[in-house]
Amino acid sequence: MSDQEITNDFTSLMLGEGVKPIKAEAKVSAREHLRRGDMQALEQRRREAEGVDERFRFTDSQLLNPLDPVEWKRDGVQEGVYRNLRLGKYTVDARLDLINRTLSEACEEVPNFVKECYRLGLRTVMITHGRGKHLQAPQNRMKSALTLWLPNIDEVLAFHSCQPQHGGLAAIYLLLRKNEEQRLANLERHR
């Protein structure tokens, strides 16, 4: 008896018992879709669907050297305050860990984290992004994206790569503005 005859006998036996065969649906190849469409148009549609703010866009042309420290401060931040931030002399009040997060997740989490810290009156916070050894490493992409995103958040006054004991090039210190409550308390204290 051949395999075909065995299959036919089995099928007829099952049909006789009232068993119906499962109908297979046509499969769609993801590669076929990518071949058909233009990659840039696909990326543009994805961004529009996500609704990502234009200030938080990031491209590979903006990648930083993974061994370079990052630093930035707004006009008006005193040099002594910035130096103390850079040297890690302020107590870190909160931390955000972005290791193993995607850029789109981080794009949502970072502004929310900063705004929540500002609302709670926290002044110095730290974001851990990880340390990549090569240019295209996910950790380096996160670090590069953060250096572009953070200046666009109004509550951030300054940031700098951390000291080695706090994570070194794998983390960033952030100095946040005083919230309204803190500003009023400061005014009263100095009157």
pLDDT tens, position by position, 165-187: 999 999 999 999 988 888 888 88
Q: Is position 64 within any domain? A: yes
Q: How many CB atoms lie within 10 A of CB 158?
A: 21
Q: Is position 26 within any domain? A: no
Instruction: Give the per-residue pLDDT at 130.
Output: 92
Q: Is position 41 within any domain? A: no
Quote the pTM value.
0.67
Give the span between the Cα atoms of 137 and 144, in whole angstroms. Answer: 11
Q: Is position 110 within any domain? A: yes
- Contact, 160 vs 70, CB < 8 A? yes
Instruction: Give the per-residue pLDDT at 19.
Output: 76
Q: Is position 141 within any domain? A: yes
Provide the residue range defining the domain that includes 151.
48-189
Question: Which amino acid appears at position 36 of this protein?
Answer: R
Instruction: Give the per-residue pLDDT at 73.
Output: 94
DSSP 138: H
Instruction: Give the per-residue pLDDT at 170.
Output: 94
Instruction: Give the per-residue pLDDT at 42.
Output: 59
Q: Is position 18 within any domain? A: no
Which parts of the chain sit beneath pLDDT 50? none
Give the span between the Cα atoms of 161 and 178, in whole angstroms. Answer: 21
Q: How many domains does the chain have?
A: 1
Instruction: Give the per-residue pLDDT at 62.
Output: 74
CATH number, domain containing residue 126? 3.30.1370.110
Q: Is position 163 within any domain? A: yes
Give the span between the Cα atoms of 74 and 174, in whole angstroms. Answer: 12
